[in-house]
């Protein structure tokens, strides 16, 4: 089976400037994701998770040095034109960003923002785009979607805003959804609801999911496989159950110990 996504020797670096030395954000990262697979990207803050997610979408700032190959649907995201990348994003590949408030336009009602996604991808009928948006908001678990759709982002709770972002990301039925810390800003109860929603949508659609988190607890409920990012590298890539039972890399052991206090004392 050809993998959906194949990353080979990905390297992301920051060039030296007058004030700072050159640094490496990602070093020789290689992995694959198959259609329908659920994969967690686990790492401490600053380990490069968001940079890796952005690299997969071709969204890293142009000032960074990017080498290697990111093949999605046969297209190399690293060397493709911006036009080709844009065609991929939001259709076959979409992302829920880390900050729900900054990812939304504060001056536009959320229903209109979701409808805009539908229009950007070919829906010409404004009324139909609005109905699609409200329907998707409902499926993303937003209560009273008709009424909520008319609100501005700041008139929603954090959990509701996260559902709006999820609705936008799911609207185009992507083959791979990347969710970057989608629940980190939410309290535990809402976090569990959003994770359940992600799992249900993933299963119903058979889409692949890359769930980015610093919290192995979050990943373990959702992903069959986990990659551990540390010091700019993927230091472990294993079935989640195996990682929990027998973590190999010291960083993996530390992350497992964080969710299972006592498990590492033997």
Among the residue ranges 44-52, 77-85, 117-125, 132-140, the one whose residues contact ligand ADP (CB under 6 A): 44-52
With CB under 5 to 8 Å by kind, the binding choice for 48 among Mg ion, ligand ADP, none is ligand ADP
With CB under 5 to 8 Å by kind, the binding choice for 62 among ligand ADP, Mg ion, none is none
With CB under 5 to 8 Å by kind, the binding choice for 159 among ligand ADP, Mg ion, none is none
Site string for ligand ADP, 8-27 (x = CB under 6 A): ------x----------x--
Name which of 45 and 265 has its Cβ closer to ligand ADP: 45
Binding residues for Mg ion (CB under 5 A): 49-50
Query: Can you tell me the distance from the alpha carbon of 71 to that of 77, in angstroms, rounded to the nearest whole number?
Result: 6
Q: How far apart are the two ends of the chain, measured CA to CA in Å?
A: 40
Is 43 one of the binding residues for ligand ADP (CB under 6 A)? yes
Query: Can you tell me the distance from the alpha carbon of 227 to that of 189, in angstroms, rounded to the nearest whole number?
Result: 26
Quote the tokens at residue 103. Answer: 């990812």
DSSP letters, 150-171, are TS-GGGS-HHHHHHHHHHHHHT
Query: Can you tell me the distance from the alpha carbon of 68 to that of 9, in angstroms, rounded to the nearest whole number?
Result: 5
Query: Can you tell me the distance from the alpha carbon of 209 to that of 180, in angstroms, rounded to the nearest whole number?
Result: 11
Strand partners, 238: 226
Among the residue ranges 42-50, 121-129, 141-149, 194-202, the one whose residues contact ligand ADP (CB under 6 A): 42-50
Name which of 38 and 47 has its Cβ closer to ligand ADP: 47
Q: Let me know if 61 is exposed, middle or buried by CB neighbors in 10 A (0-12, 13-18, 19+).
A: exposed
Binding stretches for ligand ADP (CB under 6 A): 14, 25, 43, 45-51, 61, 64
């Amino acid at each position: 089976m050809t993998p959906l996504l194949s990353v080979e020797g990905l390297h992301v670096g920051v060039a030296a400037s007058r004030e700072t030395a050159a640094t490496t954000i990602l070093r020789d990262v290689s992995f694959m994701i198959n259609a329908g697979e659920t994969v967690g990207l686990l790492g401490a803050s600053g380990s490069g998770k968001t940079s890796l997610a952005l690299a997969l979408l071709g969204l890293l700032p142009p000032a960074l040095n990017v080498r290697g190959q990111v093949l999605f649907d046969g297209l190399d995201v690293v060397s493709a034109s911006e036009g080709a990348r844009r065609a991929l994003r939001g259709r076959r590949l979409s992302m829920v960003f880390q900050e729900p408030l900054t990812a939304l336009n504060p001056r536009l009602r959320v229903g209109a923002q979701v409808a805009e996604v539908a229009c950007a991808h070919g829906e010409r009928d404004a009324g139909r785009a609005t109905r699609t948006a409200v329907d998707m908001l409902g499926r993303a678990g937003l209560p009273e979607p008709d009424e909520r759709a008319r609100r501005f982002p700041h008139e929603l709770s954090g959990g509701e805003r996260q559902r709006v972002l999820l609705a936008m990301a799911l609207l185009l039925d992507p083959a791979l959804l990347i969710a970057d810390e989608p629940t980190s800003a939410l309290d535990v109860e809402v976090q569990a609801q959003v994770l359940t929603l992600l799992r249900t949508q993933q299963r119903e659609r058979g889409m692949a999911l890359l769930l980015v988190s610093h919290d192995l607890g979050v990943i373990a409920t959702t992903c069959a496989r986990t990659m551990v990012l540390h010091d700019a590298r993927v230091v472990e890539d294993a079935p989640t159950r195996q990682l929990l039972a027998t973590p190999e890399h010291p960083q993996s052991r530390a992350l497992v110990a964080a969710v299972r206090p006592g498990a590492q004392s033997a």
